[in-house]
Every structure is written in C-alpha cells, then in structure tokens.
C-alpha cells in the first residue's frame, strides 16, 4: 500500500528490512494492527535485490552467504527464527555450499565447510601446537553467546590472550570481523562469539536470491493481517513526557502508536526523535558484482567464500585509501546446491564515506570504475582464470549506495559504533531493532526483530 489505512496502530515499525519484517510478523501474531513503513519501493534495505543488464538479471545486494544455515536448537539461530515466525525452516530454502570456503592471511591459508571438523583439522595442520587451545576456544565461543557481560569485553584482547600465536588469532578474527566489524579497531566479545558460532558451528548457505527470501517474509506478515506501506519515509518520531506516541510521515500524516520499533539505526533514530543517541560508525563497503557466461568453477574459482587479508598484522582500521584493499572478500554465487543460470562473482573491500561524499557524478562514476578494476585485478591474482574471462555485466555499490537505501549515516555497513543491546532508548517504548541492537547479518537481523518484539513488547 502507499498510505496507512488507519491513524492509529498497536505497533509501528520503521523499515521493511529483515529485522523490521521479523518484528512485524511476530507482533502481528498477537496484535490486530501492525504497520511497517518503508521509504523505498521494495523491502530488504541493504539485503535486497535489483535488476541490471539486457536481458535483465537479478542481483542480490549484500548477500555473500547466510549463517545459521542448520537448525541446531529451537532456542537458537534458524530454529528460533522458524518457531517464532511460524515458518518452516525448510521453507526458507537455504541451500548448502557445494564446495568448501577459505581463510587466507600472510601466515596461513585454511579451509572450512559446514562440517566443523574441517576447520579444526586445518588449524591443527597449519598450527600444530594449537589444536587443544582451538578446541577450548570453540567451547568458550558457545558459552559467551549466552553471557551478556561479554558485550563489555573486547574481542581482539580475548583472542590474543587465548592463543600464543598472534597469527592464529588474526586468522580467526578475519572472517568474523569481515561480517561484524561495526567499529574502528575492535568489536565486543559477545558479538564476536555470536558470529563465530553462526558461521563455523551452525554452517553457511544461500537462498536462490534475496527476492524469494524477502517475499516469504512479506507474505507471512500480510497473511497475519499486517500493513506494509512503501515510499512512506518517516519525518519524525513523536514522543512526550518520556514516552513514544507515534510517528509523522514526510507526507505530514501522523500515526499514533504506543510502540515504535526502529531499524533506522541508533543515531538515526535519535535524529528522528530530536535526541542525541549513539555514535555513528565509519566502516562501509565497496562491492563489485560480475556476471559470467560460464560456471565460476570453469575459471578456477573453487571457494564458496574466501576471506583474504593482505595485512601482515590484522587491524580494523581503514584510514587511508590504500588500506581499503588490505582485507578482501570473494564469493561465488553459483557454488551452492541449487540450479542457477546466474554465475555471479562478488569482490568486496571495506571503504569510508569520506572518499565518496564530495564527488560529482563524473568523478563518482570514474572512482567506481577504478575501484572495480582494482578489486577484480586482485581477484585475478588469486583466481588467474578470471583474468581471461570477460564478464557479461559488472555492477558495483559504494558507501553512497548504502546511505541511499538504508539512510545509515556514513553509509555504515554494520550500524553505529554504539549498540543498544537491550533495544531500549531513553524514550519508553521507542525500541531499536537491527544492526544497532546487535543483530548483524541476515540471521542476526531476523533474530533481533523477534527478540525485541518478544521481550520488550509482548512481555513488556
């Protein structure tokens, strides 16, 4: 719909991204009127889809892989999500990879798969005296996911205190920081543990595309009687005497509600409410997506995902342009167990808005071409067959693209540097979901919407 059908709702949700949709589904199981307002014409935010080329080809933005691909518990990961949303786990159609993946640093290169024993064996091979320390480390990762106090500790300090070899600490940090590095320098230990468990112990997979994945969620929300309005940007969040009372759309329409759940980000939500909340992040991303005529394996791409650090010592800073190419991620979208005529290869590096914000359209286009060329050149050093392959289509997105589709300040990929882990703000019943509640990644965002709905709305 284009416009809300009522002037008051039991709950209003800002943003039809993954956390907004999961919160909407959960609340619409109990409330009669739940409204999601989305500023764009399609759902998903950063994890969405678009079409390019002739003939038109569908691309999934933001998607490398989906963690928590296996149901390991009804109280965790995909099991928790399926149970709370009333959607069978199989209906998400998350397909396992056909090949293993890889982590490469200057010190070592190890492979991993959805069988955790592969990574354990590879660590023992590459670091023969660290096998026992690694087994203890994985046990601690599971424990720390349930420890709220771990949010106050630093991940890198823990890693380097646990392993005698700093090279092993850097290697294990690389994939987790690549998928969860929301702040400059370090992230909190609990977020690290959550992502580590999600990637390496619960396994990875991929839907055929984000369009089908999002349609499953949208349809479930609408079946529950929820309302979803596109092209309905929020002008302000209304509150008085310390309690939220609704939102005002840019159209001028006021919507009353005793609960407002915002996936806009902590600082961004503060701006809408006229408050100073959180601290905007600076970590953003540049990604080049190339489509090829033949399967990527025919060009020598043998990894589903490849996390690559070119830094002698891992640090999570991207202050100079040359540093942006120190950490790379490659993914092959046709190396999962589903039929696909799309052979898409994605190459990503981290970036900062300051390198993009003041460019005019000609300089912006030129920098995109330069970044894409540099990234694909580095990819060809790892997969030489790509150097001889002519892509059918090359597309890319920048920090400015992220801001356009998510409204995140500085085009941040994982939200701000401060998180509201309990979802609460100084305004009663104004709640944060998504990245800045700590829900990072596709499954993390879905879980965020569910947990905030459960514990801050339904239980109160």
- The number of CA neighbours under 13 Å toward the Cβ of 363 is 6
Question: In angstroms, rounded to a whole number, what is the distance separating the alpha carbons of residues 166 and 402?
Answer: 34
Q: Which of 201, 230, 263 delimits the end of a domain?
A: 201
Spell out the residues 6+ positions from residue 347 whose beta carbon is closer than 8 angstroms to its own: 287, 288, 290, 328, 329, 330, 375, 376, 378, 379
Task: State the pLDDT at residue 52.
Answer: 84
pLDDT, tens only, 311-340: 999 999 998 888 899 999 999 999 999 887
In a domain, 162, yes or no: yes
For residues 276 and 288, membership in a common domain is answered with no
Same domain, 242 and 180: no
- In this structure, the answer to whether residues 294 and 390 fall within a common structural domain is yes
Band of pLDDT at residue 63, cut at 50, 70 and 90: confident
Distance CA 142, CA 135 (A): 11
Domain boundary among 173, 201, 229: 201
CB of 291 within 8 A of CB of 392? Answer: yes
Cα dihedral: 315, 316, 318, 320 (round 10): -20
Residue written as token pair 């800045």: 436
pLDDT at 60: 86
- pLDDT of residue 55 exceeding 80, the answer is no
Parallel/antiparallel/unpaired status of strands 254-256 and 243-249: antiparallel
Residues in Cβ contact with 22 at an 8 Å cutoff, skipping those fewer than 6 apart = 81, 84, 85, 217, 445, 446, 447, 448, 449, 450, 453
Taking alpha carbons only, the member of 436, 404, 444, 452 closest to residue 45 is: 404
Check if the beta carbon of residue 43 is closer than 8 Å to that of residue 104: no
Residue 74 lies in a domain: no
Q: Do the bridges between strand 109-112 and strand 430-432 make them parallel or antiparallel, or are there none, so unpaired?
A: unpaired
State whether 313 and 391 are in the same domain. Answer: yes
Give the list of residues 6+ apart from residue 155 with CB closer than 8 angstroms, or none.
173, 176, 177, 186, 187, 188, 189, 191, 192
Question: Is 445 inside any structural domain?
Answer: yes
pLDDT for residue 342 is more than 90:
no
Residues 219 and 274 both lie in one domain: yes
Alpha carbon separation from 239 to 14, 254, 385, 430, 434 (Å, rounded): 15, 12, 58, 9, 21
Query: Is residue 334 located within the same domain as residue 361?
Result: yes
The DSSP bridge partners found for residue 112 are 101
Q: Which residues lie across from 261 on neighbouring strands?
A: 13, 431
pLDDT over 90 for what percent of the chain?
Answer: 88
> Is 407 a member of any domain?
no
Average pLDDT, the chain: 95
The pLDDT tens digits for 1-18 are: 778 999 999 999 999 999
CATH number of 58's domain = 3.50.50.60
Residues 176, 237 share a domain? no
Let me know whether 342 and 429 are in one domain. no
The verdict on residue 409 lying in a domain is: no
Give the whole-angstrom CA distance, residue 284 versus residue 398. 8
Q: Residue 2: what pLDDT?
A: 73
Task: Please give the Cα distance from 173 to 155 (Å, whole number).
Answer: 8
Q: How large is the average pLDDT for residues 347-376?
A: 96
The model's confidence at residue 203, banded by pLDDT at 50, 70 and 90, is very high
Residue 128 buriedness (CB in 10 A; 0-12 / 13-18 / 19+)? exposed
Contact 36, 228 (CB under 8 A): yes
DSSP character at residue 146: T
Assigned domain for 2 exists = no
Do 126 and 161 lie in a common domain? Answer: yes
Task: Give the distance, in angstroms, between the CA of residue 229 and the centroid of all CA atoms in the same chain.
Answer: 23
Q: Could you tell me if 282 and 410 are in contact, meaning their C-beta atoms sit under 8 angstroms apart?
A: yes
Residue 27 lies in a domain: yes
Band of the pLDDT at 61, cuts 50, 70, 90? confident
* 385, burial (CB in 10 Å: exposed 0-12, middle 13-18, buried 19+): middle
Say how far apart CA 113 and CA 138 lie, in whole Å: 15
**How many domains would you assign to the chain?**
3
pLDDT of residue 36: 98
Q: Which domain holds residue 362?
A: 284-351+357-397
Of the three residues 201, 222, 240, the one that is the final residue of a domain is 201
Evaluate whether residue 242 is within a structural domain: yes
Same-domain pairing of 184 and 215:
no
Considering the domain architecture, whether residues 304 and 159 belong to the same structural domain is answered as no
Looking at the fold, whether 193 and 239 belong to one and the same domain comes out as: no
pTM for the full predicted model? 0.95
Residues 356-368: tens digit of each pLDDT: 999 999 999 999 9
């Amino acid at each position: 719909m284009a416009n809300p059908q009522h002037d008051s709702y039991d709950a209003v949700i800002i943003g039809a991204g993954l956390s907004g949709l999961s919160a909407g589904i959960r609340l619409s199981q109990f409330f009669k009127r739940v409204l999601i307002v989305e500023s764009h014409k399609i759902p998903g935010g950063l994890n969405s889809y678009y079409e390019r080329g002739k003939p038109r080809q569908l691309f999934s933005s933001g998607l490398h892989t989906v963690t928590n691909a296996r149901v390991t518990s009804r109280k965790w990961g995909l099991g928790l999500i399926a149970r709370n949303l009333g959607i069978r786990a199989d209906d998400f159609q998350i397909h396992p990879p056909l090949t293993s993946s890889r982590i490469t640093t200057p010190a070592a290169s190890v492979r991993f798969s959805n069988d955790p024993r592969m990574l354990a064996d590879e660590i023992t091979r590459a670091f023969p005296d660290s096998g026992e320390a690694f087994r203890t480390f994985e046990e601690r990762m599971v424990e720390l996911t349930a420890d709220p106090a771990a949010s106050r500790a630093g991940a890198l300090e823990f890693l380097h205190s646990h392993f005698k070899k700093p090279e092993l600490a850097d290697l294990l940090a690389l994939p987790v920081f690549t998928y969860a590095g929301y702040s400059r320098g370090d992230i909190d230990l609990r977020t690290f543990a959550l992502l580590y468990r999600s990637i390496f112990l619960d396994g990875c997979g991929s839907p055929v595309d984000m369009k089908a994945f999002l349609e499953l969620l949208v349809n479930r929300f609408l079946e529950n009687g929820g309302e979803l309005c596109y092209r309905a940007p929020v002008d302000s969040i209304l509150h008085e005497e310390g309690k939220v009372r609704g939102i005002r759309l840019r159209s001028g329409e006021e919507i009353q509600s005793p609960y407002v759940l915002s996936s806009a980000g902590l600082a961004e939500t503060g701006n809408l409410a006229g408050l100073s909340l959180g601290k905007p992040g600076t970590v953003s991303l540049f990604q080049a997506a190339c489509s090829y005529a033949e399967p990527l394996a025919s060009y020598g791409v043998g990894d589903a995902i490849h996390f690559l650090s070119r830094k002698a010592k891992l640090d999570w800073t991207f202050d100079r342009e040359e540093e942006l190419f120190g950490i790379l991620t490659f993914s092959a979208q046709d190396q999962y167990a589903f039929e696909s005529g799309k052979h898409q290869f994605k190459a990503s590096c981290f970036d900062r808005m300051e390198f993009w914000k003041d460019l005019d359209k000609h300089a912006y286009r030129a920098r995109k071409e330069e970044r894409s060329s540099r990234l694909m050149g580095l990819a060809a050093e790892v997969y030489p067959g790509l150097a001889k392959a002519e892509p059918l289509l090359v597309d890319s997105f920048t920090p400015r693209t992220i801001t356009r589709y998510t409204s995140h300040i500085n085009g941040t990929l994982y939200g701000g540097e401060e998180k509201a882990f309990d979802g609460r703000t100084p305004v009663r019943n104004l709640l944060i979901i998504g990245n800045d509640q700590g829900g990072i990644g596709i499954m993390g965002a879905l879980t965020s919407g569910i947990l905030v709905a459960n514990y801050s709305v339904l239980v109160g």
